[in-house]
Amino acid sequence: MEMLRVSSSSRPKAVAGALSAVIRNEGGVELQAVGAGAVNQAVKAIAISRGYVAPNGIDLVAVPAFVEIDIDGEERTAIKFVVGNRYSDR
């Protein structure tokens, strides 16, 4: 599953476009965000993306979870969102 990283400076519409493209092609994607600002941008992108893919019959859902990642040798806690079609067989 492809992973997209979201930062606090990410533009939600741009992330939503990338998210929608991956969902249409692969059926699922993982968004990863570190920090409150990045999580905010990721959630907005998911909401925007729902509108982009709905005309294609895709009911987008996101499942949040914590994940430990390494940034410059330092262990950090990130939020990941596993995003996909509610009714997909993939």
pLDDT at residue 88 in the model: 64
> Sign (positive/negative) of CA torsion 87, 64, 33, 72?
negative
pLDDT at residue 8 in the model: 96
Task: Give the separation between CA 77 and CA 69, rounded to whole angstroms.
Answer: 6
pLDDT at residue 90 in the model: 47
Give me the helices (H) in 3-75, please. 12-26, 36-53
pTM of the model: 0.91
Q: At 83, list the tokens.
A: 């995003």
Which domains, from first to last, does the chain contain? 2-85 (3.30.110.20)
Question: Within 10 A of 69 (CB to CB), how many other CB atoms are there?
Answer: 13
